[in-house]
Structure 1
Amino acid sequence: MDPHHDPFDGDEEAAIRYAIALSLQDHNAHVSPSTHQKPIIELDSDENEDDDLEHGPKCPPTPKKSIQSAPGDIGKTELPTSRPMPLSLPLPSPEATSHGAQPSGFATLGLDRKKMEEERLARAAKRKAPHDDEITEPRPQRTKTNVQPDSASVTRTAHASTNAKAPLLPYPKGTVKKTWATGYPRQDDIKIEEILQKEQLELAVLSSFQWDDEWLLSKIDIKKTKLVCIAFASSEAQKEEMRANVPKDRIRFCFPSMMPAGSMHSKLQLLKFPNYLRVVIPTGNLVPYDWGETGVMENMVFLIDLPMATNPENQLTMFGQELCYFLKSSGLDESLVNSLSKYDFSETKQYRFVHTIGKSHVGEEWQRTGYCGLGRAVNSLGLATTSNVELDFVVASLGAVNTDLISAIYNAAQGDNGMKEYEKRTTSSGKKKTAQKTGLSYYSDNFRIYFPSDETVSRSRGGKNSKWWDSPTFPRDLIHDCKSVRPGLLMHTKILFARHTSHNKSQISWAYLGSANLSESAWGRLVKDRASGQPKLNCRNWECGVLIPIEGETVKPGWGAFDKKIPVPMVVPGEAYGKSNSKRPWFFLEA
């Protein structure tokens, strides 16, 4: 076999998922990439429906036909990407392991649509009973957990308790937490159950790259909660198959349009509770190992709770505007997206929703997304600077990273909209080479990429093909070993830290947390449009994240700036290994 052959065709996220799968399997067992593809979801909306987050999707009666099944293990596989490629292997949890093929879709997961319809009719009859007006619905109680909100959230919650009409919001100011991992002591982490709060959850809009349907439905009470899944399907036939395999009055699907060779990689959760909306931006997918249940993987998550708006002139913040823009671009039902305006986004004014929308962007659109959108977000928060910025990017995969991309991300971190790198790149070849040579030397002192070495994941049998690493344009000097501060855990976190070494309080540190790795697929590439001669941003993936500034009177320089707001997940400074041959990244094709 050609050692440089890449069956993943450059898709670094698919590669690392396969690598993680191998690391969790019995090394004596025969393993091969799964070829089964898994279904996904769309939100259908009749013309007379008024689906929104306040009431949840109004769905037509349950179809009378029986649920259809198709071969394929859907319980522990991932959704298909937009081109044929090896998929993630089944990743068993300690409690359950997949054995043999199972019907696809949600058909075997205990969703008896006839029984659910009977229960719905019984509930409706009960509401019409004579004594119905004597029954009052109890005030939903907040799920008790061992996780404490941050100090700002506690202060806000205490203030809200003085107002009888104000809901108790666990995270009104927003917070960042690590995911819980079994076998590790609990310390300011969070479980998926504590996020979803299944007893109170009324509607969930979920986006993920990988899905474990059976596991997900163990975390959500589908009899109480309506579910909308934003995901990828490879064909119209597959979309119809997925719709046929779920109870339409409980589960809907939304299929964003895809670029060739692109991925539906965003991770987002909009969770409607009786009195508030929870916006969740995790780095992990909807699979058990990404949420710590196998004790080998950790992620991070941002979440904020938004109350119902009381001001009739309520307006969305820039965070809310970009969230709606992203959702509408995804193809989510417009009335559902518009219903976000019923919530008070005022506490999100300090944050920015950063996204990548998988298509070509022209006109003014290219400035809103990808690395151009990152620079716009930095600038809009007053964080733009001409001074040096120290960047530390934790990634879950490495692909064809080159100096152009490094330069574009670095410039965006200073508040540039993408034009600085674009103009350098589109000059004559001589000037381009000079700029690249100077740039690589400069960035090696200011830009660090954290990715595990082969030694760090010695118990794993995965990684990435070395053809990128051996390329002369790969910025090897920027790579540092990535070790979790919780020894033994592998990291699937994607987080970019931007900080300053001076004590100047006007230079505010910040972090990006989300789904995007360091790749052109994730952040896009600004090119010249042949038709107009104007800039055009080509983005392959769908990604989303949040930009979190670190402000306050007690802000510290360097890493100390993040002490109270964002847990730093990796050991710093990470050991640099790109300058020698003694350490190399984790290459799954050469394991």
Structure 2
Amino acid sequence: MSSSDDEDLQRAIAMSLGQLDCTPEDKAMPPAAIASRNRGGAPPIISSAEVTANSPNPPSNRSINEGLRRLDRRQLEAERLARQKARKHQAGPSASASSAQNDERPSKRTRTGPSVASSQAREVVDLTSPPRPSKATALSAGPHAPREKDSSIPTPPTSQSQGQAIRQILQDSLGISISNHSASASTTPSSVRITEPQYLDGAIKRTWAFGCPRDNDIKIEEVLQNHDLKSLILSTFDFDHEWFGTKVKLDMTRQLWIVGAANDDQRYEWSLAPAVYSNVELCVLDMKNGHNHGKFLIGSHPKYLRVAITTANLKGHDWGESGKMENTVFIIDLPRLPEGKKTSEDEATAFCQNLRFYLKSLNVGLSARDALLRFDWSRTRNLGFVCSLQGASIGDDGQRIGLPGLSQAIKELNLKSNRLALDYATSSLGALSRGFMKQFLTAAKGEELEATKEKYDADIKLGDLLKQFRVYFPTVDTVRASKGGEEAGGTIFLRKRWYDAPSFPKASMHDHKSTRNGILSHNKLIICRGQIGPEDEDNAGATEGKKVAWAYVGSHNFTQAAWGTLSRDKNTKTLKVNCRNNECGVIIPIFRGGASEQVGQEDKNAEEDGLPGYEVFARKMEIPFEIPGERYGNKKPWFTDG
């Protein structure tokens, strides 16, 4: 690889090793501004100094692991003062005198002056090269490193010493043991087992579940392929990073964690992670009014890039280790291009372009996004990437987000239909209405969307809607009868007052039962079967209808928070979409064919209706839940609030 390529890739993830403080200028800037100011558009360096003194103290979000949440900050400060005192004794009288004024510096919450660490150079990491053995060497070679250092000035604590202190506190106070991965010897290139791409055309896998026979399933270790995993960008909502730290080789794999924080306390707690885990950079998003709910893993290997889009959070329960819960993963491997070659912007598929747009919106830097172009994306041409972003969007960006983004992807993939049967399996439900369901069906058909206000719900004939739409959510009986019982239903969400509202389409509800007995599902899957008649074909000479089938796998639950609400922008008079969450998923075409094409012996009834049957999905995936499923009837759903 050329030196220029190395320089580009080195800017991909700006590591925060050895620097937990930020400059006063950074403190005054919002995270997005810090991100844009960082070299190459890199994500913001997470700093404990970003925590303000007057922050509120609401309950911490469950996405932050208990180990970091329960750290005693006073104990951390005592540990810092003890290290400072030891350094003064080592440095001698002159150092003690020169640093005496720092003995009473404010705590991390109230610090307003520049810290010693903020003058240190940020280490820049190559996405594809093996990690450099010494942090000190990398820091001293940085572009902003001091030319000379007075030996009388005490050396600030390193990331390694801070990590050791935090690990000791976790062990002493909480009984949590975290191994010091950075202390182990780096894996030499000769000892690395090089893995080969396995899923060049993409695959849909259900997650492994302990105690169940293995059949077209996948474990987190098999997704990561950590033998030669050189870099990893991940996003998740609920993150057990202690568990995840056992799944990757922390001394070998550079990581960027994209997580959300609802308040300053959570930002501070996340800022401790780089000191505990080596080679980890954090991009913490401000999610005060929603959630960073998107779930993906993008891993760089010597021979390929692996993109995994999943319904699972990064914790053992979601990946089947408890034997009580299941999820689904879409996975595709993209071969590395020859040295010096890149995918041009013109050659990039819509999937590639929309994924890079999503990463940019999550504050992932330009160099990291451009590094993805060193791989061959041509086999994603028949896939659609759909996303949602917190906040309001209009114009071209608005057409890529939420419901408009879904409609656009269906049109681009030539999956439009005027008749559609839709099955939506979800692990959370919002305050559904017939108006929102009508909008969703319109988007899923690939039709143009309009802002439909709730007052028009009564105009939509419920019978016509129910013929096309089935919603799958577990009943209280299904949760109680599962292997994990009610305790396992903690991540399955529906409020009773929403379901009891007159506008809730109860007749659309079907029990969500896994085909693996006793396993609860955390899936977010859409199964669509459609038809377009000859009168609606662009080709006026068409004599028969076209059938289509497609599936969605991703993080979007069936909620308006995930897919967005539609309105008209007052200034531009164009469609505006407003989402509360960050979400992402993939559209996988399953079938395209004419009316006379055979689609399976068991599809006779569907054939009579002019739609392809469920059998067509067996070509590319196993539907992991009972379909068409049992109607609720007099049964009740599982309620989060009883």
After TM superposition, the score normalised by the length of structure 1 is 0.73
Are the counterparts in 2 of residues 71 and 101 from structure 1 also a CA contact under 8 Å? no
Quick one: which of 448, 472, 480 aligns to 1:450?
472
Deviations 1:151-184 (A, max 9, x none): xxxxxxxxxxxxxxxxx42111100011111111
**Per-residue deviation at 1:49?**
7.4
User: How does 1:477-516 map onto structure 2 within 5 Å?
Assistant: 477-500=507-530, 506-516=546-556
User: Whole-Å Cα distance in 1 between the matches of residues 131 and 585 of structure 2?
Assistant: 26
Question: Residue 370 of structure 1 aligns to which amino acid in structure 2?
Answer: G
Cα distance in 1, alignment partners of residues 162 and 125 from structure 2? 26
Deviation at 1:50, TM superposition (A): 6.5
Distance 1:228 1:57, change over 3 A: farther
Q: Which residue of 1 aligns with 2:284?
A: 255
Asked whether 1:475 is paired with 2:505, we answer: yes
Residues 1:521 and 2:543 are matched in the alignment: no
- Structure 1 position 66 matched with structure 2 position 162: yes
How is 1:178-327 mapped onto 2 (pairs within 5 angstroms)?
A: 178-236=206-264, 238-247=266-275, 250-258=279-287, 260-310=288-338, 314=344, 315-327=347-359
CA displacement at 1:495 relative to structure 2: 0.3
Secondary structure of 2:313's match? coil
- The 1:393–1:70 alpha-carbon spacing in structure 2 relative to 1, beyond 3 Å, is same
Residue 562 of structure 1 is matched in structure 2 by 617
Q: CA deviation at 1:444?
A: 0.6
> Structure 1: how far apart are the matches of 2:495 and 2:272?
39
User: How many residues align structurally?
Assistant: 471
Taking a change above 3 Å as real, the CA distance of residues 405 and 548 of structure 1, as seen in their structure-2 partners, is: same
> 3-state SS of the aligned residue for 2:467?
coil
- Opposite residue 553 of structure 2, the aligned amino acid is L
Cα distance in structure 2, aligned partners of 1:72 and 1:543: 35
Cα distance in structure 2, aligned partners of 1:365 and 1:56: 37
Partner residue in 2 for 1:583 = 635
Does structure 1 residue 358 correspond to structure 2 residue 390? yes
Do 1:257 and 1:330's aligned partners in 2 also have CA atoms closer than 8 Å? no
Percent of aligned pairs with the same amino acid: 33
RMSD over aligned Cα atoms: 3.2
Distance in 1, matches of 2:598 and 2:586, equals 20
Report how far residue 34 of structure 1 moved: 7.9
Structure 2 contact 325–519 (Cα < 8 Å) conserved? yes
Task: Look up the SS of the partner of 1:551 in the other structure.
Answer: strand
Residue 451 of structure 1 contacts residue 585 of structure 1 at CA under 8 Å; is this kept in 2?
yes
Distance 1:433 1:564, change over 3 A: closer
What is the one-letter code of the residue matched to 2:280? Answer: I
Contact 1:367 1:417 in 2 (8 A): no
Distance 1:359 1:71 in 2: 41
Q: 1:110 aligns with which of 179, 183, 198?
A: 179
Query: Measured at CA, do residues 50 and 222 of structure 1 come closer, stay the same or move farther in structure 2, by a change above 3 Å?
Result: closer
After superposition, give the CA deviation of every residue in 1:190-243 in whole Å (9 maximum; x if it has no partner): 111111112121111111111111211111111111111110123456435533
Task: Work out the CA distance in 2 between the residues paired with 1:213 and 1:498.
Answer: 35
How far apart in 2 are the matches of 1:200 and 1:464?
A: 41
Q: Distance in 2 between matches of 1:505 and 1:174?
A: 28
Post-superposition offset of 1:539 = 0.7
Give the one of 438, 441, 447 matched to 1:416: 447
Which one-letter code corresponds to 1:546 in the other structure?
V
How many angstroms does 1:560 deviate by?
0.9
Q: Does the Cα contact within 8 Å between 1:71 and 1:102 map onto a contact in 2?
A: no
Residues 1:347 and 2:354 aligned together: no
Distance 1:37 1:407, change over 3 A: closer
> Which residue type is aligned with residue 519 of structure 1?
T
Structure 2, unmatched stretches of 5+, are 1-58, 69-117, 140-157, 534-543, 600-611
Task: Work out the CA distance in 1 between the residues paired with 2:168 and 2:498.
Answer: 37
CA distance in 1, matches of 2:515, 2:281: 39
- Mapped partners of 1:474, 1:414: distance in 2: 22
Out of 402, 415, 418, the position equivalent to 2:433 is 402
Structure 1 unpaired stretches of 5+: 1-32, 76-98, 128-135, 143-167
Give the letter for the 2:404 counterpart.
C
- 1:140 lines up with 2:196 in the alignment: no
Give secondary structure in 2 for the equivalent of 1:219: coil
CA gap of 1:449–1:57, structure 2 versus 1, over 3 A, is farther
1-structure distance, mates of 2:130, 2:561: 34
Aligned residue among 384, 402, 417 for 1:370: 402
Task: Tell me the amino acid that sits aligned with residue 137 of structure 1.
Answer: S
Change (3 A) 1:35 1:263: closer
CA distance in 2, matches of 1:209, 1:216: 13
Per the alignment, residue 368 of structure 2 pairs with 336
* Displacement of 1:501: 7.4
Counterpart Cα distance in 2 of 1:50 and 1:71: 28
Letter in 1 for 2:128: E
Asked if the contact 2:262/2:286 (under 8 Å) is kept, the reply is: no
- The DSSP-based 3-state class of the residue aligned with 1:277 is strand
Change in CA separation of 1:227 and 1:403 when aligned onto 2, cut-off 3 Å? same
In the alignment, which residue of structure 1 is the partner of 2:151? none
Give the helix-richer structure, 1 or 2.
2
Structure 1 pair 55/239, CA: closer, same or farther in 2 (3 Å)?
farther
2:540 matched residue in structure 1:
none
Whether the 8 Å contact between 2:62 and 2:238 is mirrored in structure 1 is no
Report the Cα distance in structure 2 between the residues aligned to 1:371 and 1:467, rounded to whole angstroms: 25
Write out aligned runs for 1:388-399 (5 A): 388-399=419-430
Q: Report the alpha carbon displacement of residue 343 of structure 1 after superposing the two structures with TM.
A: 0.8
Deviations 1:225-268 (A, max 9, x none): 1111110123456435533442476000112343x421111100
Q: Is the 2:547–2:591 Cα contact (8 Å) retained in structure 1?
A: no
Aligned with 1:389: secondary structure? Answer: strand
In 2, distance between residues paired with 1:172 and 1:288? 27
**Offset of residue 533 of structure 1:** 3.6
SS at structure 1 position matched to 2:410: helix
Q: Distance in 1 between matches of 2:498 and 2:421?
A: 24
Task: Classify 1:458/1:37 alpha carbon distance in 2 versus 1 (closer, same or farther; 3 Å).
Answer: closer
Shift of 1:527: 1.3
527-536 vs 266-275, greater mean Cα deviation: 527-536
Separation of aligned partners in 2, 1:36 and 1:100: 21
* Aligned-partner SS, 2:627: coil
Instruction: Note closer, same or farther for the CA distance 1:138–1:215 as it changes in structure 2 (3 Å cut).
Output: closer
Find out whether 1:171 has 2:196 as its counterpart.
no
Rounded to whole Å, the distance in 1 between the matches of 2:407 and 2:305 is 28
Change (3 A) 1:222 1:312: closer
User: What SS class does the counterpart of residue 500 from structure 2 fall into?
Assistant: coil
1:468–1:434 distance in 2 versus 1, CA, 3 Å: closer
| Change in CA separation of 1:72 and 1:544 when aligned onto 2, cut-off 3 Å | farther
Map of 1:88 onto structure 2: none
1:443 and 1:56, CA in 2 relative to 1: closer, same or farther beyond 3 A? farther
Q: Compute the displacement of 1:441 (Å).
A: 2.5
